[in-house]
Structure 1
Amino acid sequence: MALEQVRYEVDQHVATVTLDRPEKLNAWTRRMSEDLREAMRQADDDPSVRVIIFTGAGRGFCAGGDMGLLSDIGADRDRHAVPPAGAFDPRGPVDFHGPDSYFPSISKPIICALNGVAAGIGLVYPLYCDLRFAASEAYFFTAFAQRGAVAEHGMSWLLPRLVGLPNAFDLLYSARRIDAAEALRMGLVNRVVPSAELMSETRAYAQLLATQVSPRSLKVIKRQLWDDQMRGLGPAVAVSQAEMALSFLSDDFREGISHFVERRAPRFTGE
């Protein structure tokens, strides 16, 4: 499928997926949703890709749902019902089989570079990413209550895990705008950098993951962290013990020991 509203590029083991409607502040459409899923599928299936950067073109990340589309939905609910997309990874937990909740099923780390406004569904998808770096001029709001909507697309599950229940109530009830500094204090984002340096710093971090740590380890650790949100401590420990035993048999484990002992750069293969 040719991509129309999303750009996809790969360079030095890093895929960059960019929402590409800058004239509309990357307002969300059904086609954008389809293109994003296809781009993420390409990144997940490409063995040369080890890390994914997710960002927006122009002045904003995503200003939320396209208002024309939202107006149409209000006028004709049945015609605009979103069809089931199917599970991104049928082998993974059913919690991640939804049309918007599939990012945890992607086997590679996803770093969201928030270059500007992120609102409504434009804030939901960053919450499904593994890390969030924000430009100093970025700002965020949930938007739903201001539109007569609810905490959509799993945000009521995601947000409290990042910012705590009191902050989640505040952000969802009031739909107030918060800046990058407040988002950092809350734990909504991992890092805030000057706007002009956002992509260079995000790419530098992505390169660190792509070259200095084991791709196999990243894949397993990502699955552990997301899947363990659905487990108790006992099952999580059992899974970690089994995965640890398997890691000892891997090429990447042997390389991890060798490059440390030999004091050289690692040459991980992901095997």
Structure 2
Amino acid sequence: MTGDVRHEVCDGVSYLTLDRPEALNALTPDMRERLIGLLARASADPAVRAVVLTGTGRGFCAGADLRGGAGAGGRATGGSTPVPGDGARTAEDSTPVPGDGAQGAGAAAPGDGARVVGDVARVLRLGAQRLIAAVLDCEKPVLAAVNGTAAGLGAHLALACDLVLAAESARFIEVFVRRGLVPDGGGAYLLPRLAGPHRAKELMFFGDAVDAGRAERLGLVNLVVPDAELAATARAWAARLASGPTRALALTKQLVNASLDDGRAAAFAAESWAQEINMTTRDAREGLRAFTERRAPHFDGR
């Protein structure tokens, strides 16, 4: 149901709130597709200048709910795996689990001889990976306000955001190894770039819960705040982002993300062209004019 993702735009900020607290905000296929659509809309809407992603209750997002239907793009169904100690009947990973009743879109049940190599890859490509790509490719800065447990795909959803605030009660869990699975939803891409390969392997090999303080020390989180201050801090950071030079921020985001994959020559070329493009914007002209006039700039996002 689309009601499981609350959406409002206020003062140039698109607020996306996962609202299935009884399931630690585990993602159904409908929720995933709605998030992808809302991120695309925010990216294209000049009135939206920043995005905040958060959850309700004790969880930010416990991953993909394997109990939902295959839905748009395909999603595993049937299985459900709890986060130890949370008491939630939700799945924290986003992969069909062989033998637990899970079934990818268009794939036959395990053991009936009809499964085709490529079915699982297709489910991931059209599902979890599309969601993570929607965050990474959004042309507006995306801020995660992690209010509680972020597990499996839910952890990767937070880590894909440009900035991450965490409540003191938040924790991050790479649960895949607990199920005998390979991390998916971009985890092996995101974690080494944030924490380095050795720390990434530690998190993925052991699957231990990482509290907010350690997540900050590892570079997974920008700032940890008391639970009661998370919403207000997120609003304050979002307001700063929404008052910034939106196109310059979009180009900066693109440069930083690309730099992690490109060599120096490609990164320098991309930088020069990004500056070339940005100099055509009103905000760039306003910023330079304000500097020469010795006043604070007023950016309108264009």
Q: 2:101 — aligned with what?
A: 75
Which residue of 216, 240, 244 maps to 1:184? Answer: 216
What one-letter code is carried by the residue in structure 2 that aligns with 1:195?
D
Give the distance between the partners of 2:63 and 2:131, measured in 1 at CA: 17
Deviation at 1:201, TM superposition (A): 0.7
TM-score scaled by length of structure 1: 0.88
**Residues 185-234 of structure 1, C-alpha deviations (whole Å, 9 max, x = no match):** 111111101110011111101111211x2111101111111122221110
**Residues 138-180 of structure 1, C-alpha deviations (whole Å, 9 max, x = no match):** 1111100111211112211110110111111111111001110
**Structure 1 residues 1-271: aligned runs within 5 Å:** 3-66=2-65, 68=67, 69=77, 71=79, 73=96, 74-79=100-105, 82=123, 85=126, 98-211=130-243, 213-271=244-302
Q: 1:90 — aligned with what?
A: none
What one-letter code is carried by the residue in structure 2 that aligns with 1:223?
Q
Verify the 8 A CA contact 2:176 2:204 in the aligned structure 1: yes
Verify the 8 A CA contact 1:14 1:50 in the aligned structure 2: yes
Deviation at 1:114, TM superposition (A): 0.2
User: Compared with structure 1, are the counterparts of its residues 10 and 231 closer, same or farther at alpha carbon in structure 2 (3 Å cutoff)?
Assistant: same
1:254 counterpart SS class:
helix
Give the distance between the partners of 2:141 and 2:205, measured in 1 at CA: 31
1:17 counterpart SS class:
strand
| Root mean square deviation, CA, Å | 2.2
Aligned residues: 260
Unaligned runs of 5+ in 1: 87-96
Unaligned runs of 5+ in 2: 68-76, 81-95, 108-119
Percent identity over the alignment?
A: 39
Higher mean C-alpha deviation, range 241-250 or range 35-44: 241-250
Give the distance between the partners of 1:19 and 1:58, measured in 2 at CA: 10
The structure richer in helix per residue is: 1
Verify the 8 A CA contact 2:54 2:146 in the aligned structure 1: yes
Give the distance between the partners of 1:106 and 1:4, measured in 2 at CA: 22
Verify the 8 A CA contact 2:78 2:103 in the aligned structure 1: no
Deviation at 1:78, TM superposition (A): 4.4
Give the distance between the partners of 2:162 and 2:130, measured in 1 at CA: 18
Give the distance between the partners of 2:194 and 2:150, measured in 1 at CA: 16
TM-score scaled by length of structure 2: 0.79
